[in-house]
Structure 1
Amino acid sequence: MVTLPMSARLSGLLGVSLAIGIGLAMAQPAPMPGVALPLNDLSAFSNPTPNWRIVGSVRADLNKENTLITDKGTGVLANIPLAHPTADPKNPYKYDLFTTLQHGDVDLELDYMMASKSNSGVYLQGRYEIQLRDSWEIRTPNVHDNGGVYERWDEKRPEGHKGYEGHAARQNASRAPGLWQHMKISFQAPRFNTNGQKTENGRVIRVELNGVIIQEDVELTGPTRGSAFADEKALGPLRIQGDHGAVALRNIRYITYDKPRPELMNLKYAVYKGKFQKEPEYDKTAPESEGATTVLSASVSRIPNEFLIRYTGTLRVSEPGEYNFNLGVPGGGGLMKINNQSVIAPGEWNAKGKATLPKGDLPFELLYAKFVDWAQPALGLTVAGPGIREYAISDGVGGTGEEVDPIIVDASTNTILRSFMDMPGEKNTQGRTLRVTHAISVGSPEQIHYTYDLDKGALVQLWRGGFLDATPMWHERGDGSSRPMGMVQRLGAPVLFLSKLASPQASWIADTTGSNYHPKGYVLDDNDRPTFRYQSYGASVEDKIRVLSEGKGVQREVTITNPASDLYARLISGATISAMENGMYLVDGQEYVRIDDVAGAKPIIRDANGRQELIVPVKGKLIYSILF
Structure 2
Amino acid sequence: MSKPFTTARFCWLLGIGWMVGAGFAMAQPTPTPGTPILLNDLSAFKPATQNWQIVGNVRADLSKPNVISTEKGTGILANVPLAKAPEDPKNPTKYNLFTTTEHGDIDLELDYMIVPKSNSGIYLQGRYEIQLFDSWDNTGWDVRSPRTVDNGSIYERWDPKRPEGQNGYDGHPARQNASRAPGLWQHLKIAFQAPRFNANGQKTANARMLRVELNGVLIHDDVELSGPTRGAAFDDEKPLGALMLQGDHGAVAFRNIRYTSYDKARPELANLTYSVYKGKFTKDSQYDKTAPESQGPTTILSSSISRIPNDFLIRYTGTIRVQEPGEYSFNLSVPGGEGMLKINNQSVVAPGSQANRGKVTLPKGDLPLELLYYKTAGWFQPALGLSVAGPGIREFLISDPIGTNQDDVDPILIDASTNTLLRSFMDMPGDRNTQGKRVRVTHAISVGSPAQVHYTYDLDKGAMIQVWRGLFLDATPMWHDRGDGSSRPMGMVQRLGTPVLFLATLASPQTNWPTDTTNSSYRPKGYVLDGNDLPTFRYQSYGSMVDDKIRVLESGQGVRRELTVATPASNLYARLASGSVISPLENGMYLIDGQAYLRIDDTAGAKPIVRESNGQKELLVPVKGKLTYSILF
TM-score, length of structure 1 as denominator length: 0.94
Q: In the alignment, which residue of structure 2 is the partner of 1:120?
A: 120
Q: Residues 329 and 349 of structure 1 are in contact (CA less than 8 Å); yes or no, is this contact kept in structure 2?
A: no
Question: Is the counterpart of residue 235 in structure 1 residue 227 in structure 2?
Answer: no
RMSD across aligned positions (CA): 1.4
Q: In the alignment, which residue of structure 2 is the partner of 1:318?
A: 323
Q: In the alignment, which residue of structure 1 is the partner of 2:7?
A: none
Cα shift at 1:403: 3.9
Counterpart residue type for residue 120 of structure 1: S
Q: In the alignment, which residue of structure 2 is the partner of 1:78?
A: 78
Which residue of 315, 326, 346 maps to 2:351?
346
Q: In the alignment, which residue of structure 1 is the partner of 2:15?
A: none
Question: What is the correspondence of 1:426-575 to structure 2 with a 5 Å cutoff?
Answer: 426-575=431-580
C-alpha spacing 1:397/1:449, structure 2 compared with 1 (3 Å)? farther
Q: What per-residue deviation string (whole Å, max 9, x for no partner) do you get for residues 55-85 of structure 1? A: 1100000011001010111111111111121
Question: Is the counterpart of residue 88 in structure 1 residue 76 in structure 2?
Answer: no
How many residue pairs get aligned? The number is 599
Q: What per-residue deviation string (whole Å, max 9, x for no partner) do you get for residues 538-563 of structure 1? A: 11100000001221000000000100
Q: In the alignment, which residue of structure 2 is the partner of 1:247?
A: 252
Question: What is the correspondence of 1:407-426 to structure 2 with a 5 Å cutoff?
Answer: 407-426=412-431
Counterpart residue type for residue 475 of structure 1: H
Cα shift at 1:157: 2.1
Q: Residues 331 and 401 of structure 1 are in contact (CA less than 8 Å); yes or no, is this contact kept in structure 2?
A: no
C-alpha spacing 1:145/1:46, structure 2 compared with 1 (3 Å)? same
Question: Is the counterpart of residue 267 in structure 1 residue 279 in structure 2?
Answer: no
Give me the whole-angstrom Cα distance separating, in 2, the residues matched to 1:251 and 1:458.
Answer: 32
Point out where structure 2 has 5 or more consecutive residues left out of the alignment: 1-29
C-alpha spacing 1:288/1:430, structure 2 compared with 1 (3 Å)? farther
Q: Residues 282 and 374 of structure 2 are in contact (CA less than 8 Å); yes or no, is this contact kept in structure 1?
A: no
Point out where structure 1 has 5 or more consecutive residues left out of the alignment: 1-29
Counterpart residue type for residue 468 of structure 1: L
Give me the whole-angstrom Cα distance separating, in 2, the residues matched to 1:563 and 1:549.
Answer: 30
Question: Is the counterpart of residue 110 in structure 1 residue 110 in structure 2?
Answer: yes
> Secondary structure of the equivalent of 2:356?
strand
Counterpart residue type for residue 562 of structure 2: E
Q: In the alignment, which residue of structure 1 is the partner of 2:597?
A: 592
Give me the whole-angstrom Cα distance separating, in 1, the residues matched to 2:285 and 2:542.
Answer: 71
Cα shift at 1:134: 0.8
Q: In the alignment, which residue of structure 1 is the partner of 2:300?
A: 295
C-alpha spacing 1:118/1:62, structure 2 compared with 1 (3 Å)? same
Question: Is the counterpart of residue 224 in structure 1 residue 229 in structure 2?
Answer: yes
Q: What per-residue deviation string (whole Å, max 9, x for no partner) do you get for residues 503-544 of structure 1? A: 111011111110111110000000000000011111110000
Q: Residues 178 and 491 of structure 2 are in contact (CA less than 8 Å); yes or no, is this contact kept in structure 1?
A: yes
Give me the whole-angstrom Cα distance separating, in 2, the residues matched to 1:51 and 1:540.
Answer: 56
Which residue of 362, 367, 375 maps to 1:362?
367
Q: What per-residue deviation string (whole Å, max 9, x for no partner) do you get for residues 178-227 of structure 1? A: 00000000101111111111111111101010011111101111111111
C-alpha spacing 1:397/1:542, structure 2 compared with 1 (3 Å)? farther
Counterpart residue type for residue 598 of structure 1: T
Q: Residues 31 and 109 of structure 1 are in contact (CA less than 8 Å); yes or no, is this contact kept in structure 2?
A: no
> Secondary structure of the equivalent of 1:299?
helix
Cα shift at 1:419: 0.4
Question: What is the correspondence of 1:154-173 to structure 2 with a 5 Å cutoff?
Answer: 154-173=159-178
**Which is bigger in relative contact order (C-alpha 8 A, separation at least 6)?**
2
Q: Residues 467 and 485 of structure 1 are in contact (CA less than 8 Å); yes or no, is this contact kept in structure 2?
A: yes
Q: In the alignment, which residue of structure 1 is the partner of 2:396?
A: 391
Counterpart residue type for residue 45 of structure 2: F
Question: Is the counterpart of residue 309 in structure 1 residue 314 in structure 2?
Answer: yes
Give me the whole-angstrom Cα distance separating, in 1, the residues matched to 2:368 and 2:296.
Answer: 18
Q: What per-residue deviation string (whole Å, max 9, x for no partner) do you get for residues 383-429 of structure 1? A: 01111110100112865634411111110000000000000121134
Counterpart residue type for residue 123 of structure 1: Y
C-alpha spacing 1:398/1:255, structure 2 compared with 1 (3 Å)? farther
Q: Residues 463 and 501 of structure 2 are in contact (CA less than 8 Å); yes or no, is this contact kept in structure 1?
A: yes
C-alpha spacing 1:316/1:608, structure 2 compared with 1 (3 Å)? same
> Secondary structure of the equivalent of 1:81?
coil
More displaced, 243-252 or 82-91?
82-91
Question: What is the correspondence of 1:55-70 to structure 2 with a 5 Å cutoff?
Answer: 55-70=55-70
Q: In the alignment, which residue of structure 2 is the partner of 1:602?
A: 607
Q: In the alignment, which residue of structure 2 is the partner of 1:134?
A: 134
C-alpha spacing 1:334/1:283, structure 2 compared with 1 (3 Å)? closer
Q: Residues 31 and 254 of structure 1 are in contact (CA less than 8 Å); yes or no, is this contact kept in structure 2?
A: no
Q: In the alignment, which residue of structure 2 is the partner of 1:374?
A: 379
Which residue of 309, 332, 337 maps to 2:337?
332
Give me the whole-angstrom Cα distance separating, in 1, the residues matched to 2:93 and 2:394.
Answer: 32
Counterpart residue type for residue 352 of structure 2: G
Q: What per-residue deviation string (whole Å, max 9, x for no partner) do you get for residues 310-329 of structure 1? A: 11000111111100011101
Q: What per-residue deviation string (whole Å, max 9, x for no partner) do you get for residues 417-471 of structure 1? A: 0000000121134433200011010000000000000000001000000100000
> Secondary structure of the equivalent of 2:304?
helix
Give me the whole-angstrom Cα distance separating, in 1, the residues matched to 2:187 and 2:310.
Answer: 46
Question: Is the counterpart of residue 151 in structure 1 residue 153 in structure 2?
Answer: no
Q: In the alignment, which residue of structure 2 is the partner of 1:101?
A: 101
Give me the whole-angstrom Cα distance separating, in 2, the residues matched to 1:463 and 1:586.
Answer: 17
Cα shift at 1:285: 2.4
Q: Residues 376 and 402 of structure 1 are in contact (CA less than 8 Å); yes or no, is this contact kept in structure 2?
A: no
> Secondary structure of the equivalent of 1:266?
strand
Q: Residues 277 and 287 of structure 2 are in contact (CA less than 8 Å); yes or no, is this contact kept in structure 1?
A: no
Question: Is the counterpart of residue 614 in structure 1 residue 619 in structure 2?
Answer: yes
Counterpart residue type for residue 463 of structure 2: A
Cα shift at 1:608: 1.5
Give me the whole-angstrom Cα distance separating, in 2, the residues matched to 1:145 and 1:483.
Answer: 25
Q: Residues 441 and 450 of structure 1 are in contact (CA less than 8 Å); yes or no, is this contact kept in structure 2?
A: yes
Cα shift at 1:152: 1.2
> Secondary structure of the equivalent of 1:472?
helix
Give me the whole-angstrom Cα distance separating, in 2, the residues matched to 1:430 and 1:305.
Answer: 44
Q: In the alignment, which residue of structure 1 is the partner of 2:27?
A: none
Give me the whole-angstrom Cα distance separating, in 1, the residues matched to 2:614 and 2:403.
Answer: 45
Q: In the alignment, which residue of structure 1 is the partner of 2:582?
A: 577
Give me the whole-angstrom Cα distance separating, in 1, the residues matched to 2:95 and 2:169.
Answer: 26
C-alpha spacing 1:457/1:278, structure 2 compared with 1 (3 Å)? closer
Q: Residues 109 and 182 of structure 1 are in contact (CA less than 8 Å); yes or no, is this contact kept in structure 2?
A: yes
C-alpha spacing 1:430/1:508, structure 2 compared with 1 (3 Å)? closer
Q: Residues 329 and 350 of structure 1 are in contact (CA less than 8 Å); yes or no, is this contact kept in structure 2?
A: no
Give me the whole-angstrom Cα distance separating, in 1, the residues matched to 2:192 and 2:307.
Answer: 38
Give me the whole-angstrom Cα distance separating, in 2, the residues matched to 1:258 and 1:326.
Answer: 21
> Secondary structure of the equivalent of 1:549?
coil
Cα shift at 1:158: 2.1
Q: Residues 500 and 568 of structure 1 are in contact (CA less than 8 Å); yes or no, is this contact kept in structure 2?
A: yes
C-alpha spacing 1:456/1:497, structure 2 compared with 1 (3 Å)? same
Instruction: Give the percent of matched residue pairs that are identical in Structure 1 and Structure 2.
Output: 72
Q: In the alignment, which residue of structure 1 is the partner of 2:6?
A: none
Q: Residues 275 and 306 of structure 1 are in contact (CA less than 8 Å); yes or no, is this contact kept in structure 2?
A: yes
